[in-house]
Structure 1
């Protein structure tokens, strides 16, 4: 591959990784930029909502003169066709990829790149994907309308089952029977090298760059998943078979039956297991602290620096302490800024760090109940930081997400469905949102 091609791919990857777009993520091994993994978060208000769809992108030596090849890998082992243009075998039919005939001007050009490819794939994940199939774009008879509705229904079910639930169960070691695999303990590590082997051996064998991202996003969107299940239960019955579409054929279809009761059970077990994993980080952290490891020392140093920084910052009233002198668990007390909706509030936040930080990002939880569009019902805040390795940037990002009064609309940051609906609704809705928020702020000091 030419230097020009490698430089071009490297820049595209860097631009995407620095982007504030929460719908796309890309990664590759440092030694091989030609083979890229990408993940698309299913667009809101579609049957793909908040699903995790992964793709393999392979750049040839003639890139950008020729489009890369793209393979969908979220297919349930080749058994599920999630879209008329995304086959069970992984083929992605797009004119810019040269895998589908398009109109003049729709074919690949060197001005396009990885981001435009991923956005094009994302556009296939529409609210009515039935229309993506050629010849079915304008079908308006009653039979077609029923097929459209039935197609959306089964995609919504399988998006939850395969792209979310199966993926998270695999990450967490949850078996189909609902048992959770025991987690390796750090107690047997004799020194720091042993500890490193235990923590990173899996990463060296299997390149799975989106594991932590999907875990954190699951916590963001958990309430939305449950809401989708609650709504779907009113529309279909458990045991009801999926309707086969006219364009589906053997080996390239989406077969199965609805069972939202079972999906809800599995979702709740995933949430419980993730919470247990976060709690276990604290226990592992104490082991590493006792062993005087580099990871513990680094977090202790960052904690001390953050405390000093906020002592000097007169704009934010913030107190940070370690829980049980454990540098992996920070207790944050934030006092609402004057002249805002948070004025006078007293908010307690727990910030838990993984022993594998920053490869695994910290998880925060508000112990103070707060009605806010960026805070899930269990207290998980939705925030994003570009300095993942810097503990202070996480604290800053949480406070900024909490304080932002006129944020740009991004449905992927709205993790409390009821609060989000009011915040982005009518004037009356917004007034109701502010009243509920103020009541929660007042209760925070009781």
Structure 2
């Protein structure tokens, strides 16, 4: 591969990694940048909603003259076909990849790149994937209409099971089905020692999966509740006309079991988060570099707040632990939080910045960006700079009129009011105002 091609791949990876796009994320093999892993977020309002689908990408020596090779990894060890275009064996049927004969103008061109490939794959995760199968684009018969609904039912179930729960059970060492972390090459022809039968997941994405799980936990629960009303427990999946042996989504519905596993994953993530505090105290005692770094960043931020006479935010360390920060935000005039006293915890990992902060709002707040569990959903482009995290936390809380983005909808009930009818928006504001006023009473209890 030419130096020019390597530079281009490096640039394309960097652009995605430094983007605030919540839909895609990438990581690469440091020993060979041609081998890339990617995560694609299942689009909202589709059967794939908030699933995290993993793909292995290999750039050939002739890139960008020819497209990269892409293989789906979220297949339950090669046993689950997630759509007419995403085969159980990992094949991704897409015209720009040369794996499907598309219309004129849909083929690969060197003007395209990694991001366009990932966006095109995400477009395959549509609201009605049944119609993605050639010959079924305009299916109208009663049997086809029934199949469409049944297909969506089982995709929603398997998205929660395979694209949400299973990888996290591996990350948390609670996997019940033999799935494991992976360091193997996803291309078995390049590595005779790789175990192609095992269900494998990439370690670099474990932190992303955990943070997104905390964001979307209530949405997952809501989906389970809704689907359980229509689905008989233990009933088998219906086979679609285009599904065949070894390339099928087979199984049965068991939402009570998914709910149990979902709750266990949440428990384990929260336990891990609390354990960071204890690890942090030990790291401080041992004078490890990460403890010194976090202490220094804390002191610089506090000094900066004093220098700019910023009285809306008070920052302290809990038990003088640089891995657990306590923020007290005093609601500024003209914002929805005016006059409130909002208490926030920021947990930091001994692996920061590889593992990102987990932020919890301890004050009850029916806010669109604060889950009912208190998890704050925010993003920052400079993940290694804690000052930018603090700024992003405040900006998120103060944003009274954010654009609609279901990927940042972590409080379904509050969001339903906020983006509902005018009367619903007024209910949202009244509920928020009531709890902001109560925050002052609670602060002095």
When normalised by structure 1's length, the TM-score is 0.92
Superposition deviation, residue 30 in structure 1: 3.1
Q: Give the Cα separation in 2 of the matches to 1:258 and 1:316.
A: 53
Structure 2 residue runs of 5 or longer lacking an equivalent are: 179-200
In structure 1, the partner of 2:216 is 221
SS at match of 1:107: coil
The 1-side partners of 2:20 and 2:307 are apart by 29
Kindly indicate whether the alpha-carbon contact (under 8 Å) linking 1:24 and 1:39 is maintained by their aligned counterparts in 2. Answer: yes
Displacement of 1:91: 0.1
Partners of 1:98 and 1:5 lie apart in 2 by: 20
What CA distance in whole angstroms lies between the structure 2 residues aligned with 1:355 and 1:389? Answer: 13
2: CA distance, partners of 1:431 / 1:33: 52
Residues 228-307 of structure 1 mapped to structure 2, 5 A cutoff: 228-307=223-302
C-alpha contact (below 8 Å) 1:84/1:133 kept by paired residues: yes
Q: Distance in 2 between matches of 1:316 and 1:245?
A: 61
Name the SS for the 2:85 alignment partner.
coil
The separation in 1 between residues aligned to 2:382 and 2:8, in whole angstroms, is: 24
Task: Please state if 1:437 is matched with 2:435.
Answer: no
1:183 corresponds to which residue?
none
Paired position in structure 2 for 1:140 = 140
Query: What CA distance in whole angstroms lies between the structure 2 residues aligned with 1:271 and 1:124?
Result: 29
Number of residue pairs the alignment of both structures matches: 419
Secondary structure in 2 aligned to 1:210?
Answer: helix
- Three-state SS of the structure 2 residue aligned to 1:327 is coil
Aligned to 1:113: 113
Q: Which residue of 2 aligns with 1:123?
A: 123
Inter-partner Cα distance in structure 1 for 2:309 and 2:402: 24
Equivalences for residues 1-400 of structure 1 within 5 A? 1-176=1-176, 208-314=203-309, 317-400=312-395
CA distance in 2 between partners of 1:444 and 1:410 (Å)? 27
Alpha-carbon distance between aligned partners in 2 of 1:8 and 1:28, rounded to the nearest angstrom: 14
Paired residues of 2:363 and 2:439 also in contact (CA < 8 A): yes
**CA-to-aligned-CA distance 1:159-213 (integer Å, 9 cap, x gap):** 00011110110000114299xxxxxxxxxxxxxxxxxxxxxxxxxxx96221111
Q: Secondary structure at the match of 2:322?
A: strand
**Contact map agreement 2:166 2:175 (CA 8 A) in 1:** no
- Confirm or deny: 8 A CA contact 1:212 1:360 kept in the other structure: yes
- What are structure 1's unaligned runs of at least 5 residues? 179-205
Which whole-Å CA distance do the structure 2 matches of 1:230 and 1:133 have between them? 29
User: CA offset at residue 315 of structure 1?
Assistant: 5.0
**CA distance in structure 2 between the partners assigned to 1:425 and 1:64 by the alignment:** 46
